[in-house]
Amino acid sequence: MKVTRFGHASVNISEKLDDCHRFYSEVLGLETTPRHSAATLIPGHWFVAGDTQIHLIDHPFDGAKLNPVGPHYAVLVDDIAAAVAELEAAKIEFLRLGEGRDAQVWITDPAGNTIELGQDPDC
């Protein structure tokens, strides 16, 4: 698996969507960017700074492993299908939403931190 760049950091803001939207847009001055794919199934906002995004997720978080609505960071990979095959071969637990180049995949590091993998659109 080859990580090409960071995609986003995700912050769970359960039940504080409006307050957090104002904070990130007015206090930090971040611009919003359109949400897409499975992300639109959960309330939230995406902001962009340079080529990195921060995602606000308004959903209860119970601290479970591999929970896509919990705190995580995302990296983009050169080939998401190959990355999934590597995870399967290494018997690393993962959660996948979607298929093909649109797939979003979550894993945890040995300390339990959640990492989202996605296809780099430039590869």
pLDDT class for 111, splitting at 50, 70, 90? Answer: low
- Give the three-class secondary structure for 99: coil
Closest CA to 106 of 123, 24, 4, 98: 98
- Report how far residue 84's alpha carbon sits from residue 6's, in angstroms, rounded to the nearest whole number: 18
Identify which of 2, 3, 1, 6 has the alpha carbon closest to the alpha carbon of residue 84.
1
Which pTM does this prediction carry? 0.75
* pLDDT beyond 70 at 109: yes
Amino acid at 12: N
Q: Give residue 44's identity as a one-letter amino acid code.
A: G
* pLDDT of 110 strictly over 90: no
Could you state, in order of their start, the residue ranges of all structural domains in the chain? 3-119
Q: Is the pLDDT of residue 24 over 70?
A: yes
pLDDT at 70 over 80: yes
CATH of domain 3-119: 3.10.180.10
